Amino acid sequence: MSLLVVGLSHRSAPVSVLERAALSQDAQIKLLQDTVAAEPATEAAALATCNRIELYADVDKFHAGVAELSTLLAQHSGVGLDELTPYLYVHYEDRAVHHLFSVACGLDSMVVGEGQILGQIKDSLARAQELHTAGRLLNDLFQQGLRVGKRAHSETGIDRAGQSLVTFGLEQLAPGADVETWARGKRALVIGAGSMSSLAAATLARAGVGEIVIANRTHERAERLAQTLAEQGETEVTARAVPMHAVPDELTRAGLVVSCTGATGLVLTAEAVAAAVEDRVGIPVDPAGGPGEASGSGEGAESGRTAAAAAVRPVHEDTPLPPASLGTEESCPLDPPAVQGGFSVMGEAAVAGMDAATLEQHGAWVDNATVDRRERRRTPADDAELITALAATVRVTGRIPERRRPEPLVEVPRPEPVLALLDLAMPRDIDAAAHRLAGVRLVDIESLAEASAGAPMAADVDQVRRIVSDEVAAFGAAQRAAHITPTVVALRSMAADVVASEIARLEGRLPGLDDKHRGEITQTVRRVVDKLLHAPTVRVKQLAAEPGGAGYADALRTLFDLDPETVAAVSRADDETDGSEKDAENRGRA
């Protein structure tokens, strides 16, 4: 076994890189075909989800395999190899098996324990089988991964450690509230009709939304999904399908939008969302700045400025002044150390904020000051003129504005969201700029990654990790034992040929031998050969199943001088039989 996986996920790469590296269905097909056509790989399967892109292969050379798989990922993702390389991870042999089993159990998911990944693994295996890029190793690996994932969900409470990505996203849209209470009665718009969108629609139906509208590029698929939702006996949700061009109209009536399509560009722009919110609340919404800023002028802009002005905290007459004590300068109404450096104690900065009476007191102090004026840049006459001018200002305005300590503006609070957006697509379906719109709440893959980063790990996760470790060891042992099986079969085949040859030789020497005696002799020779080979073949299988036991097959071939082509023929026959049986099994399950 020389299993190699090269990939990137939400744990190794930022969402912006994952978004650019996302593989379409056509790109995945071409990637698999090019991988098996490359020299180091004989099998290939791709696992591409909203938060991971991984390429699995059976390779005969590690370093050449890493280089080839990395290059192919870069070529088909459209992200340059130099840019992609820092975010790639590599797993080999048992570590690669451990990685896939962990993924299948939901341990490596953005939301720990989510079960949707099992369906995505099954789809990846089916695609590789259809393209005939999955051989014995990857068939066994992915089939066992599915079984391990199901075991983890059935034997532990891993489901309690996390929810599906849809449920987790809805929880982020309704912070501090129960999802069912928050969603009850809402009109939901689901864009897309694939597996994730179907899961979202089913989750919303169970949450108690009033209506679900399905929009999809292929209208027939949207209709099928709507019909499936309507026929579910456990919910009473109303579901209907609409074409994609009806999305802007539906957007003005929806309270919740979930989008997950395979589109390479934006499905909802910030302008489209702004227009939908504006139609609903009757207030112009600017995608760049919130309500009342659509054009920078007019009633909306004026109301925005008025609200901002009203939020400024005024300066009251009873605002306390700085301490009046100067130590030895007892008559000065100002504390010089409180004045910012570079200003005269008799300058404008020093008297800012004083009322008329205090200002006159300060002017009298200046005229009779004992402070050394040699370091001042202003003369007493200049200060007297300034104080006279400031006193005139006080008579008009009542107070000199405080210039040294301006009051901060109070931010105008955003209105409660009237439209909730959940973007589960990779690359994104909804313009990220929509989160700046007043009245809009947007949750996407990037924000979900941030929200789930500090999620606590449940005790069940440790139990699942033990299951994964046990299953990895068992899978490795089975693969190593299977690796020596063709050699054992070839050895027994050679022994049978030797027996047949010797019986034929005996018949030539004893032509008068009757059938009864010939049968007895033949059976005796075969029993002798079987007994001689039984213990060594059983023991060699046990030894081969242990770590480092791959060399026993080579030793057996060398000791008995087995023809390598005979062993290879047995392996090819087993692969063809296993492949046809597993294809039939998967078709039956589907």
Say which CATH number the domain at 23 has. 3.30.460.30
User: According to the annotation, is 172 in a ligand binding site?
Assistant: no
Burial class (CB in 10 A: 0-12, 13-18, 19+), 75: middle
User: According to the annotation, is 463 in a ligand binding site?
Assistant: no
Residues 48 and 154 in one domain: yes
Residues 6 and 71 in one domain: yes
Q: Cβ atoms within 10 A of the Cβ of 346, count? A: 26
Specify the DSSP element, H or E, that contains 230: helix 219-231
300 with 291: CB under 8 angstroms? yes
User: According to the annotation, is 353 in a ligand binding site?
Assistant: no
- Closest residue by Cα to residue 101 from 51, 153, 161, 48: 153
User: According to the annotation, is 115 in a ligand binding site?
Assistant: yes
Strand 238-243 with 89-92, pairing? unpaired
| Cα–chain center distance at 541 | 42
| Structural domain contains residue 303 | no
Chain segment 456-475, per-residue pLDDT in tens: 555 778 889 999 999 998 89
pLDDT at 191: 94
Higher per-residue pLDDT: 4 or 497: 4
| pTM greater than 0.75 (yes/no) | no
Q: What is the 3-state secondary structure (H, E, C) of 374-433?
A: CCCCCCHHHHHHHHHHHHHHHHHHCCCCCCCCCCCCCCCCCCCCCEEEEECCCCCCECHH
User: According to the annotation, is 78 in a ligand binding site?
Assistant: no
| Structural domain contains residue 177 | yes
User: According to the annotation, is 220 in a ligand binding site?
Assistant: no
336: tokens are 């010089």
User: According to the annotation, is 512 in a ligand binding site?
Assistant: no
Residues 44 and 136 in one domain: yes
Q: What are phi and psi of 486, to 5 degrees?
A: -60, -35
pLDDT at 342: 41
Work out the pLDDT band at 246, boundaries 50, 70, 90.
very high
User: According to the annotation, is 163 in a ligand binding site?
Assistant: no
Mark which of 162, 197, 221 sits at the end of a domain.
162
What domain count does the chain have? 3
User: According to the annotation, is 193 in a ligand binding site?
Assistant: yes
Instruction: Please state, in angstroms and rounded to a whole number, the distance separating the CA atoms of residues 273 and 263.
Output: 18
Q: Which one of the listed residues 50, 105, 260, 332 is annotated catalytic?
A: 50
| Structural domain contains residue 276 | yes
pLDDT at 588 over 50: no
Instruction: Please state, in angstroms and rounded to a whole number, the distance separating the CA atoms of residues 93 and 283.
Output: 60
Residues 151 and 193 in one domain: no
Q: Which range, 115-119, 215-219, 285-289, has the best average confidence (pLDDT)?
A: 215-219
User: According to the annotation, is 196 in a ligand binding site?
Assistant: yes
Work out the pLDDT band at 338, boundaries 50, 70, 90.
very low
User: Which residues are paired to 430 by β-bridges?
Assistant: 268
Work out the pLDDT band at 262, boundaries 50, 70, 90.
confident
| Cα–chain center distance at 123 | 18
Specify the DSSP element, H or E, that contains 539: helix 515-545
Residues 525 and 554 in one domain: yes
Residues 432 and 494 in one domain: no
User: According to the annotation, is 357 in a ligand binding site?
Assistant: no
Q: Is 50 a catalytic residue?
A: yes
Work out the pLDDT band at 349, boundaries 50, 70, 90.
low
User: According to the annotation, is 75 in a ligand binding site?
Assistant: no
Report the CATH number at residue 439.
3.40.50.720
Place of tokens 């919404």: 285
- Say which DSSP state 330 is in: T
At residue 82, what is the residue type? Answer: D
pLDDT at 319: 40
Q: What are phi and psi of 60, to 5 degrees?
A: -100, -10
Residues 271 and 138 in one domain: no
Chain segment 543-559, per-residue pLDDT in tens: 777 766 667 777 777 87
pLDDT at 198: 86
Chain segment 8-58, per-residue pLDDT in tens: 998 898 888 888 898 888 999 999 999 999 888 999 999 998 889 999 999
Query: What counts of helices (H) and strands (E) characterise the chain?
Result: 23, 12
Residues 24 and 150 in one domain: yes
Instruction: Please state, in angstroms and rounded to a whole number, the distance separating the CA atoms of residues 49 and 47.
Output: 7
201 with 207: CB under 8 angstroms? no
pLDDT at 53: 94
Q: What is the mean pLDDT of the chain?
A: 77
Residues 28 and 149 in one domain: yes
Specify the DSSP element, H or E, that contains 56: strand 52-59
Instruction: Please state, in angstroms and rounded to a whole number, the distance separating the CA atoms of residues 141 and 97.
Output: 7
- Closest residue by Cα to residue 173 from 416, 475, 384: 416
Structural domain range at position 154: 2-162
User: According to the annotation, is 114 in a ligand binding site?
Assistant: yes
| Structural domain contains residue 80 | yes
Q: Cβ atoms within 10 A of the Cβ of 469, count? A: 13
Residues 202 and 262 in one domain: yes
